[in-house]
Every structure is written in C-alpha cells, then in structure tokens.
Chains A and B, each alone.
Chain A
Amino acid sequence: MNPDPSLSLQSFSGLENFGHSLRSSAWLHQPEQAGELPALFKLARQQGLSIALRGSGRSYGDAALNSGQIVLDLRRLKRVLAWDPARGRITVEPGVTIEDLWNYVLADGWWPPVVPGTMFPTIGGCLSANIHGKNNWVAGPIGEHVLEFSALLPNGRRVTCTPRKNGGLFRAMIGGLGMLGVFTSITLQLKPIESGRLEVNAWAEPNLEAMLAAIDAHKDCDYVVGWVDCTAGGRALGRGQIHTARYLHAAQDPQAEASLRVDAQVLPARMFGLVPRGWLPKLMAPFMNNLSVWAVNTAKYLASRTISHHKTYRQSLIEFNFLLDYIPGWERSYGRDGLIQYQSFIPKVRAAEAFAEILRLCQKAGLPSYLGVLKRHRPDPFLLTHALDGYSLALDFKVTPANRARLSALAAELDEVVLAAGGRLYFVKDSTLRAGSAKRFLGRRAVAEFKKLKTKTDPHNLLQSDLYRRWFD
C-alpha cells in the first residue's frame, strides 16, 4: 500500500475508449486496495484536480476518460469477498470482471443474471453504467440484481445501500457513472442454472417492422436480440436476423452437468473451423468499407434466410452471450481510428418510424452502420436511466480522420429524430454530443436530482470525467 501517493510525471498515461476512436491522457493510479482511496482523494483536492474511475476501459465513449487530470484504474481491487453457493449471493470488489465472476460461480450452478456482449468489463463499471444484456425485458439492467453495495464517498463517508436502505443513493449510484462515490463492495443475486448451454433459435425477417414485431412477440424468452443489415434499403430496410435463447433444465440437456464446468465454456479457437481467431481483426480490416460491408451483410442475410432459417441449436452460455469476445481485439478491425457506437432508445409505438428514419439518414449520409443490433427494453427505477418501454438500436460506425465531422453532423441529425420520437440515448456510449446535453436526454428533474445528490456526496466535485463535464456542466 502506498500511503502517500503523488503525481509523478511518469504516471501520465495514454488512455482510450473501447473503440480506440478517442485518445486521451491522464495521471493514472492503480490502487491495490480500497484503503488507498482516501489518500488519493486528498491528493486530488490538494492539486486542484478531479478523479475519474475506470475499470477495464470497455466504455464506447468518454465515461472512463479524464483528460489531463486523474484516472483511478480499479482493476486491482478484485477480491471475491463472500460467496454463498446455496443462495447464489456473491460479494465482490469493483474490479472483479464478468469473466472472473462466471468462472467463480458456474460450477455451483449459477450465472450472472445480466451480462453485456463482452465478458471483460468490471462489475464496478457494469454498475456505474447500469449495463443491460439481451434479456433486458425479462431481467432488467444489472442494477435490479444488486442486493447491496458499500461505497466510499468523496465527502469521506462510507455508506451501505440497498433498494430500501439509502434507496435514493442506491438508485443514483447505479447508473451514476462513478460520479457520486466509489463502490468498494457489491453483492449480487445470481441466476440459478441447470445447464451451461442455451437452446438458440435463429431466423430471418425481411424488414424493420417484421423485426420489431418478432422481437416483441418473443420478448418473454430468456434472451432475444436482432441483428440488422443496415446496408439494405427500400422495402428491405431494417431486415435482419432474430436470435432467441432459453435456459435448459437438466432433464432437457444430457450434457447439463458437464456443461457447467468452466473448461466446457470455450469460444471456438477458429472461425469457420479455419482461421485462428487472433488473426481475424487484421484479416477483416481491409473489408471494413461500405462496399465490402454491404457484400458481407447481404451474404449474411441471405444465409440467415436459407441455411440457418428457423434453425434450432445449442450453444454454451459464453458463446451466446459474449459475441464480441469471439474475435479478440475485434475493435482493431476498424483500423487506426476505431469506431463509435450510437445507441438510441425509442418508445414502442414510435420505434418503427424512428429507426427507419435513422437507418435512412445513415445511408443518405454515406455512413451506414457496419453493425446494427436491436433489443427490447422496459423501464427501470434508476435515476439516470435511459430505459423505456420500447426498443433500442445500437449502431457501430467506423471512424476515419476524414469522416469525423460528417459523423458528428449525422449524429446530431439522429439526435433530433430520437428526441422527436420521445426517445433517449444511452449516454455512456455517446461520443458526439456537446456540452449540456444531459437535460435534453435524461430530463430536467433527473439531472437536478442527480446534481443535488452529488453536492452532498461530493461537495468539492472531485469525481468527474470527460463525459460528465460534457453532459452535465
């Protein structure tokens, strides 16, 4: 433990977002234990600097960047503090990752109730962003599975919050971007499972309306997600493929017991049985342009209509959930300037019209998304929530030095479509909005309440990030 931290010039480090499209540098500290945090807060105050909290750096935007100031990388706080395999309750430090978590609990027949598309984020980061998975309709965001957490606030207080005790702070710190305090321990209720495999159904839908209807019809499945071919236009606009999945009972899966072993949960070493996964980002890079993506998406859609139409198969939990981890370093395939994601949430009745407009605007701008993902959502009780009864469309865009300005202009157009449809943006993923956007997308009341809480927990405004300054100042 380092009792007296200082800002050494050498501790200045280059940091990036998940998509490698935003570069930033900051004084980086990696505390070994939570006991070091008070001294770091003191240091920041003395130096007149702010602190941003960072986990695995898997945020698509600038939520874990604090340019020119202090960033605390909390990945070394990664102890499992308690595990009750009978009730499926685990207490962890914030730096434990989703990967650590499922590795720890799987053999006892438990699984994280909500996971993102990659297993590398930390639990602290997942709570701060209140992440959702492909099961948002049935399971809600991860925050709904938090039984209790303890946090150190910048005002020096240590608090324990549950949905009932300190409920206001509970609902604000989850999804609060690490702006109110630092989680020091988190207790999650996990999901009991009898098999480590899922039964997956896949089929194609010819257009956006059919996609939305199919997702809505299957929203009570354990998981449902839609892949959208964003390059298709006209009557095929929004066409794509639906995947649903459900957990298996032991009786339904002869391999149930074996599949609960960690070593049974592997991602295929080769894609299409041929290419080692590690090679893929480099092999894919030359094909990340509008024409090739159009060709690949068209081929993928046609395959989903024919070869894999209404196919049922079984997949391990990690194969189904962690699609992004299939290709290690997939973000690198987008080239030097990386990618950004734009994820909008639109109320159910307005979704078809708004998403169609969004897809058309992207195509008109010559900036089709290379990956589009549709999900079904429902409201949740968290203060800075973006969730609503409707759908989200997550769009990945390649960034190049030449298209930054066009991409920003496009995003600004999309913002207006989203607002006009009564929608919201997942601000943790945003990279394009200008100062003061929080009120427009999160509502005046929520923002005012959040700021009021922040004044209490963080009177000197020590916790900040590039995203926070941009959205809330």
Chain B
Amino acid sequence: MPQTKTTPSRFPAEPPLLRRPRAVIVGASSGIGAALAARLAAEGYRVAVLARNKARLSALCEDINRAHGEARAAAYTHDVTDLKAIPALFQRLVKDLGGMDLFVYCAGVTVPVKIDEFDTHKDQQMLQTNLAGALAWLGCAAALFQGAGRGQLVGISSVAGDRGRVLNPAYNASKAGLDAYLEGLRNRLTRRGVHVLTVKPGFVDTDQLKGSPRTFGVISPEKAADGIWKALRARQQLVYVPWFWRYIMLVIRLVPSFIFRRLSF
C-alpha cells in the first residue's frame, strides 16, 4: 500500500460547472511533451506532468502557472522504467487531478548504435522506456477510460516504427511495438467511447534529435504540439507531424525488401 495519509490535492476545488478537463503527460520535461503540456494548459486543461528530471519539470510548471495566473500544471518525478511504481502513482494522479480525460505517453529515448553494433544494454534501454513503460502506463489509462466510458489516449510513436532499418533496429522495434499496442487499444476501446491517437513525428527539434544524421524539415516541438492538439480535437486515429511524413512514409513502406536491404538509412 503506497500511502496511508491523505495528501491534499495540488489543485484548488473548482465549481463543477466550470470544471477543466484533466490531462496527464508522461515524459514531459522537454521536447514534444513539454510543448504539449504548455499547449494543453493554454487550451484550458489541468495538466500533470511526469519525468525524471525534477528541476526541468518544476520550471515547466512554474512557467505554465505563471502564464495563466493559476495552478494548471503540477509536476511528478518518475522514471518510466520503474514499472512497479506505476499503478500506485497512477491512482495518486487520478486522485490529485480528480479524474482523467486525456493521457499522453510521450517518454522515448534513442540510444545511437553503430551500423554494425549489437548492444543488448542499449537495446533494453530503448525497449524499457519506449515500449515496456508505455504499455504499463497506457494499460492503466486504458482500463480507467474503459470503465469511465470516455477519454482520450495518445501514444507518441515515430515514423521510425513504420519499417525496420539498418540504423537502429531496436528503436524501430520499440516504436513498431507501440504502434501495434495502440492499434489494439483502439480496436478494443473505440466501442467504449474512448479515442486512441497514434502520433508519428518526423524530425522534431528535441534532445532526442541531437546527433541524428541527415535531418531535414525539422519542426519545433511547439509546431508538433499544435499538430497533436488539432488531431485530438478532430479525434483522428493517426497523425504524422509534420503532415508531409504521411506521404514520405507511404513511399518508404512501399519500397520492396530487395531494395530496402541495399539502402543505408
């Protein structure tokens, strides 16, 4: 049992007629997660942001709360590879927020590997954060939304999940796994009134992009957050940000294996 003491909620009680929707973003200390937190707060949400980096999270919350002159964001320090901690933390978030309307899994790491390198430790790092943590969190949120008969789930996957490539097979596998999981959730939950959105960013100017070779069409995290917000509002199933990646990936998915094997990206 995690706690025996009732801790007061971090958000003040509000008149129910003006209840703000509630969002949780896992992996929000930087990049798309941080930009989405700011955007959702601006759209009227109360947001709980989770990440390992306490200092960055606190700064993000302070910025958001100062901008709106009221408590709209609260920080929770958490490492997604600590799977055992997730159910209790999830329950606490539900309590502190007073429910949940939107859940976003945004945590992701790319650990660069050389083109001929095989490193179990690096692969596991990516698998743990990008897939195992995602399943643990999204599973909790899915069960909750299924019971409630409403809610929106967002998984930040990647265009990298569309094909296995020479550069980073484990990263591709983690994102392809996440895609399949999200699709499964969508097929289970649409009939329960729950919306599941798969987001496939291309190159976004984040920590994760640093050191990536040959980038083009890089967009800011704010631009990515804008695309995600619009897809959420339109209840789209799958969104590429920026939009043109839909067509790039369409072509890439059509490349036959005998050619793809000879390519070096």
Residues of A whose CB lies within 8 Å of any CB of B are 7, 9-14, 17, 21-26, 45-50, 61-62, 65, 67-69, 340, 399, 404-405, 407-408, 411, 431-435, 460-461, 466, 469-470, 473
Inter-chain CA distance A12–B91, complex, in Å, is: 11
A62 engages B16 (CB within 8 Å):
yes
B4, B18, B91: the one contacting A7 at CB < 8 Å is: B91
Find chain A residues with CB under 8 A from B16 CB.
Answer: 17, 22, 24, 61-62, 65, 431, 466, 470
Q: Residue on B with the closest CB to A464?
A: B6
B96 engages A68 (CB within 8 Å):
yes
B5, B15, B143, B149: the one contacting A408 at CB < 8 Å is: B15
Interface membership of B140, Cβ < 8 A: yes
A9 engages B3 (CB within 8 Å):
no
B143 engages A68 (CB within 8 Å):
no
Whether A9 contacts B95 in the complex (CB less than 8 A), given A14-B150, A22-B17, A404-B17, comes out as no
Find chain B residues with CB under 8 A from A7 CB.
Answer: 91
Interface membership of B256, Cβ < 8 A: no
Interface set, chain B 38-93, CB cutoff 8 A to A: 91-92
- Additional pairs, 12, CB under 8 Å, beyond known A67-B99, A68-B97: A12-B148, A22-B16, A24-B98, A26-B99, A48-B3, A48-B6, A48-B7, A49-B91, A65-B16, A407-B17, A411-B17, A434-B14
A-B pairs with lowest CB-CB distance, top 10: A9-B143, A67-B98, A12-B147, A14-B148, A25-B148, A68-B94, A470-B13, A68-B98, A48-B3, A67-B99
Q: How far is the CB of B71 from chain A (nearest CB, A)?
A: 13
Interface membership of B263, Cβ < 8 A: no
Inter-chain CA distance A407–B99, complex, in Å, is: 24
In the complex, 26 of the A-B residue pairs with CB atoms within 8 angstroms, ordered by the A residue number, are A7-B91, A12-B144, A13-B149, A22-B16, A22-B17, A22-B19, A23-B19, A25-B99, A25-B100, A25-B148, A46-B4, A47-B1, A47-B3, A48-B4, A48-B7, A50-B6, A67-B99, A68-B99, A432-B17, A435-B12, A435-B13, A466-B13, A466-B16, A469-B13, A470-B15, A473-B13
Find chain A residues with CB under 8 A from B5 CB.
Answer: 48
A25, A49, A408: the one contacting B17 at CB < 8 Å is: A408
A11 engages B6 (CB within 8 Å):
no
Interface membership of B211, Cβ < 8 A: no
Whether A69 contacts B95 in the complex (CB less than 8 A), given A9-B147, A45-B4, comes out as yes
Whether A46 contacts B1 in the complex (CB less than 8 A), given A340-B17, A404-B17, comes out as yes
Interface membership of B213, Cβ < 8 A: no
Q: How far is the CB of A404 from chain B (nearest CB, A)?
A: 6
A10, A14, A26: the one contacting B143 at CB < 8 Å is: A10
B147 engages A48 (CB within 8 Å):
no
Interface membership of B146, Cβ < 8 A: yes
Q: How far is the CB of A374 from chain B (nearest CB, A)?
A: 24
Inter-chain CA distance A47–B15, complex, in Å, is: 26
Most buried by A among B6, B19, B96: B6
Interface membership of B2, Cβ < 8 A: yes
B2, B99, B144: the one contacting A48 at CB < 8 Å is: B2
Inter-chain CA distance A14–B6, complex, in Å, is: 23
A461 engages B6 (CB within 8 Å):
yes
Interface set, chain B 136-187, CB cutoff 8 A to A: 140, 143-144, 146-150
Whether A433 contacts B15 in the complex (CB less than 8 A), given A10-B143, A14-B150, comes out as yes
Find chain B residues with CB under 8 A from A411 CB.
Answer: 17
B147 engages A11 (CB within 8 Å):
yes
Whether A404 contacts B18 in the complex (CB less than 8 A), given A12-B148, A46-B1, A466-B98, comes out as yes
A399 engages B17 (CB within 8 Å):
yes
Q: How far is the CB of B22 from chain A (nearest CB, A)?
A: 8
Inter-chain CA distance A17–B17, complex, in Å, is: 11
Inter-chain CA distance A49–B5, complex, in Å, is: 9
Q: How far is the CB of B53 from chain A (nearest CB, A)?
A: 26
Q: How far is the CB of A467 from chain B (nearest CB, A)?
A: 8
Find chain B residues with CB under 8 A from A65 CB.
Answer: 16
Find chain B residues with CB under 8 A from A9 CB.
Answer: 140, 143-144, 147
Q: How far is the CB of A438 from chain B (nearest CB, A)?
A: 12
Find chain A residues with CB under 8 A from B15 CB.
Answer: 408, 431-434, 470
Find chain A residues with CB under 8 A from B13 CB.
Answer: 434-435, 466, 469-470, 473
A21 engages B17 (CB within 8 Å):
yes
A405 engages B99 (CB within 8 Å):
no
Inter-chain CA distance A276–B96, complex, in Å, is: 46
Inter-chain CA distance A435–B148, complex, in Å, is: 26
Q: Residue on B with the closest CB to A461?
A: B6
Find chain A residues with CB under 8 A from B3 CB.
Answer: 47-48
Inter-chain CA distance A69–B140, complex, in Å, is: 16
Find chain B residues with CB under 8 A from A461 CB.
Answer: 6
Q: How far is the CB of A435 from chain B (nearest CB, A)?
A: 5
Inter-chain CA distance A228–B205, complex, in Å, is: 62
Inter-chain CA distance A247–B43, complex, in Å, is: 56
Most buried by B among A21, A69, A408, A411: A69
Q: How far is the CB of A51 from chain B (nearest CB, A)?
A: 11
Find chain B residues with CB under 8 A from A62 CB.
Answer: 16
Inter-chain CA distance A10–B140, complex, in Å, is: 10
Q: Residue on A with the closest CB to B147?
A: A12
Inter-chain CA distance A13–B96, complex, in Å, is: 17
Find chain B residues with CB under 8 A from A399 CB.
Answer: 17
Inter-chain CA distance A407–B15, complex, in Å, is: 12
Find chain A residues with CB under 8 A from B18 CB.
Answer: 404-405, 408, 432
A460 engages B19 (CB within 8 Å):
no
Inter-chain CA distance A62–B148, complex, in Å, is: 17
Inter-chain CA distance A17–B15, complex, in Å, is: 14
Q: Residue on A with the closest CB to B21?
A: A23
Q: Residue on A with the closest CB to B87?
A: A9
Inter-chain CA distance A390–B17, complex, in Å, is: 28
